[in-house]
Chains A and B, each alone.
Chain A
Amino acid sequence: MEDHNVETLILKTEISGLIMPNPTMLASGILGSSASMLREVANSGAGAVVTKSVGLKPSSGYPNPTLIQVDCGLLNAVGLPNPGIHKFTDEIKDLIDLKIPLIVSVFGFSPEEYAEAAEVACDAGAKAVELNLSCPHVKGTGSEIGQDPKMVKRVIKIVKGSVNRPVFVKLTPNTARIDLLAEAAASAGADAITAINTVRAMAIDIETFMPILANKFGGLSGAAIKPIAVRCIYEIYRVVDIPIIGCGGIRTWMDAVEFMLAGASAVQIGSAIALEGLSIFKSICNGLYAYLEKKGFRSVREIVGLAHKK
């Protein structure tokens, strides 16, 4: 039962062959560890959902505190808890009838592990995979691999050789040159780039003199990192032709528009769900639609990268 009204046509988004009813997506790491919750997010109006990152082996992640609030954002070090990709296929299979694309985020401690996790995810029914090359707080994976353009290339090449679904790559802002990481990703055959993951950060309690997160270091998200994300997307858009999915501090439709003007074809929502609840997907879509109509655009595609043309 497809809806063919004007809003649907204007907001319809395609990323590497994946058709989304709108450009809002659930960001990885948020609510994405169970089929029932991913379905709830889909029912709330997201255009696509990305699961929490899953690796080959089960892990409990870090002890609490794993998430604390700081000025203008959240600081987290959850530590990639996951049931292992083989068990996680139960959740993926439960979502086989999902009306929007299910993207499974995977990580590994070697290029081969990324490939194996991606393959199992796709075999179970993932419509695409997003490679977590950017988690800033787990040793031996994420940004430790993703900060090196050569490693980024290697991981993508091996994954692309193992799966026949689109491969998205989530990049880290914890680097001096995110454009080089993006170029490496595109040249290795990545189908889209997600930018950005959290910014490596820390908070210390002045009463107990202790870093608050159990892992001491964590990743900063929320409004605090939004201008960093916009700059990263702008830089990436200049050097690659593949679609960019913007992420980092998006809370309102104005934020979404700003990300798209910088070059994002879609946007991921995460921390702001803590503020706005799951209705955030619909409210961003409503605002975005009204903006596009008022400005005379016929498709959301028309504003992607517009800030570069002036």
Chain B
Amino acid sequence: MSVWHIKNNLLRIVRILRVKPENPHVKTLTFKDDLCSSANPGQFIMVWIPGVDEIPLSISMVHPDGLASVTVAEVGEATKALNSMRVNDPIGVRGPFGNQFEVYGKRALIVGGGTGMAPLLMLIGRMLKEDVKAVVIEGAETVNKIVFLEELTDLSRMHSDSIKVFFTTEDGSYGVKGLATNLAEEILSEEKFDVVYACGPEGMIRKVYEIAEQYSVDMQASLERYMRCAIGICGSCVIGRYRVCRDGPVFSKAQMREMGNYLGKIRYNERGERVQI
């Protein structure tokens, strides 16, 4: 009989080593944890903010020497508490959990919104290694909500043959004025891609999904739901017959088609009520 052990699930207490503001609302926190550092693009971890909450976060970067980062937008009590933590403060981590973005083909379109860029940043790193070319679109409401502006700009400069980056802002304060999805549709109508990757607000993902269906291009998206156990048993994060924590968080176009209105329109909240997204 094998040991009663769920992969990567034991809680580890780690100290925050670096805090880097990405914009006025978003910070990247770096810590040392070998398991997190071995995460694949798209995988997530549960982060315990002692005395406050435990929340799911995508790994945004992995570094040598067992370091890993999460990139956190302040959206509620837990993320606010996490972003006010300082170097050497303790957090708990378990994971990484879930599947990953599959990298294939020669050319991909990446569409991200806000901190939805976190797993996509890791994906871009993987694509560079595997020699897959990418057109990246990051959408934000306004210039000071753009995440990874510096990193993405640097990457596109250093790898100008492989990566092209567009920023869109709704108010036109930076890059192309308008929505990321509008630009995505424009680009898809003119150029061929093997796959589209998306992460961000679910309304955006649903729109990208509809565009991908329209242009018959393959697609993968990382989805998000209220989460508790992260190991596939509590049922909090279900979308249709899928558990985001165990069957996702990355879902294929065929799976999204199967989700119907549960993609971008209806979700279960923390009480288990069906509510509009």
Residue from the list B6, B240, B246, B268 in contact with A69, Cβ < 8 A:
B6
The answer to whether B272 and A274 touch across the interface, beta carbons within 8 angstroms, is: no
Report how far A274 CA is from B132 CA in the complex, Å. 35
Residue of A nearest to B227 (CB): A64
Q: Could you tell me if A274 and B229 are in contact, using CB atoms closer than 8 angstroms?
A: yes
CB of A33 within 8 A of CB of B6, answer no
Q: B11 to A30, Cβ gap below 8 A?
A: no
Most-contacted residue by chain B among A64, A73, A76 (CB, 10 A): A64
Q: A33-B236, A52-B235, A68-B11 are in contact. Are A210 and B228 (CB under 8 A)?
A: no
Cross-chain contact A30 with B50 (CB below 8 angstroms): no
Q: Are B241 and A39 in contact (CB under 8 A)?
A: yes
Shortest beta-carbon distance, B214 to chain A, in Å? 27
Whether the pair A210, B238 counts as a contact (CB closer than 8 A) is no
Give the number of A-B contacts (CB < 8 Å): 122
For the complex, is A72 an interface residue (Cβ under 8 Å from B)?
Answer: yes
Contact B274 A90 (CB under 8 A): yes
B46 CB to nearest chain A CB (Å): 8
Interface residues of B (CB under 8 A from A): 1, 4-6, 9-11, 13, 46, 48, 50-55, 90, 92, 94, 228-229, 231-236, 238, 240-241, 243, 246, 268, 270-274
**CB-defined A-B contacts under 8 Å, sample of 22:** A32-B235, A33-B236, A34-B238, A36-B238, A37-B243, A40-B241, A61-B270, A64-B228, A66-B54, A67-B229, A69-B6, A69-B94, A81-B271, A82-B271, A82-B272, A83-B271, A87-B273, A205-B13, A208-B51, A208-B90, A214-B54, A252-B1
List chain B residues, Cβ under 8 A from A63: 52-53
Given A83-B272, A252-B1: A64 in contact with B235 (beta carbons within 8 A): no
Known pairs A73-B4, A251-B4. 12 more at Cβ < 8 A? A33-B272, A34-B235, A34-B238, A34-B272, A37-B235, A63-B53, A65-B46, A69-B9, A69-B10, A212-B48, A273-B232, A274-B233
Asked whether B50 lies within 8 Å of A210 as measured between CB atoms, the reply is yes
Shortest beta-carbon distance, B243 to chain A, in Å? 7
A81 near B270 (CB under 8 angstroms)?
A: yes
The reply to whether A205 and B4 contact each other, CB–CB distance below 8 Å, is: no
B54 touches A64 (CB 8 A): yes
Q: Which residues of chain A from 51 to 98 have a CB within 8 Å of any chain B CB?
A: 52, 58-61, 63-69, 71-73, 76, 78, 81-84, 87-88, 90
Chain B proximity mask over A211-232: 1 for CB below 8 Å, otherwise 0:
0101000000011100000000
A212 touches B92 (CB 8 A): yes
User: Nearest chain B CB to A186's CB is how many angstroms away?
Assistant: 31
Write the nearest CB–CB distance from B156 to chain A, whole angstroms. 37
Q: Contact between A275 and B6 (Cβ–Cβ < 8 Å)?
A: yes
Cβ B272 vs Cβ A66 within 8 A: no
Closest residue of chain B to A226 (Cβ to Cβ) is B4
Instruction: Name which residue of chain A comes closest to B54, CB basis.
Output: A64
> A207 in the interface, Cβ–Cβ < 8 Å?
yes
Q: A40-B241, A64-B228, A72-B4 are in contact. Are A33 and B233 (CB under 8 A)?
A: no
Complex Cα–Cα for A76 and B236 (A) = 14
- Is A37 a contact partner of B270 (Cβ separation < 8 A)? no
Is A296 at the interface (CB under 8 A from chain B)? no
- Chain A residues 192-213 with CB under 8 Å of chain B are 205, 207-208, 210, 212
A174 within 8 A of B: no
For the complex, is A140 an interface residue (Cβ under 8 Å from B)? no
Instruction: Verify A67–B273 contact, CB threshold 8 A.
Output: no
List of B residues within 8 angstroms of A73 by Cβ = 4
The 8 Å CB contact of A223, one of B4, B50, B228, B229, is: B4
- Cβ of A270 under 8 Å from chain B: yes
Instruction: Please name all residues of chain B whose beta carbon is closer than 8 Å to the beta carbon of A64 when the two chains form the complex.
Output: 46, 48, 53-55, 228
Residues of B within 8 A of A24 (CB): none
CA A52 to CA B246, docked complex, whole Å = 19
Chain A CB within 10 Å, residue with most, of B233, B268, B271:
B233
Chain B residues with CB below 8 A from A268, complex form: none
B91 to A, closest residue via Cβ: A208
Top 4 A-B pairs, shortest CB-CB distance: A64-B54, A31-B235, A207-B13, A40-B241
- The answer to whether B233 and A31 have CB atoms under 8 Å apart is yes
Q: Which residues of A contact B92 (CB under 8 A)?
A: 65, 205, 212
Nearest-CB residue, chain A, relative to B52: A63
Q: Please report the C-alpha to C-alpha distance between residue A34 and residue B237 in the assembled complex, in whole angstroms.
A: 10
CB distance from A65 to the nearest CB of B (A): 4
- What sequence of 0s and 1s flags, for each residue 17-51 of chain A, a beta carbon within 8 Å of any chain B beta carbon? 00000000000011111101101100000000000
Separation in Å of the B10 CB from the closest CB of chain A?
6
A205 and B50 contact, CB distance less than 8 A: yes
Check A30/B235 contact, CB under 8 A, given A63-B53, A212-B48.
yes
Q: Which residues of A contact B52 (CB under 8 A)?
A: 63
Chain A residue numbers with a CB within 8 Å of B48 are 64-65, 212
B234: which of A66, A71, A88, A223 is its contact (CB, 8 Å)?
A66
| Interchain CB contact under 8 A, B10 and A59 | no
List the B side residues contacting A274 at CB < 8 Å.
Answer: 6, 9, 229, 231-233
Contact of A33 among B51, B229, B235 (CB under 8 A): B235
Complex formed: what's the CA distance from A32 to B272 in Å?
10
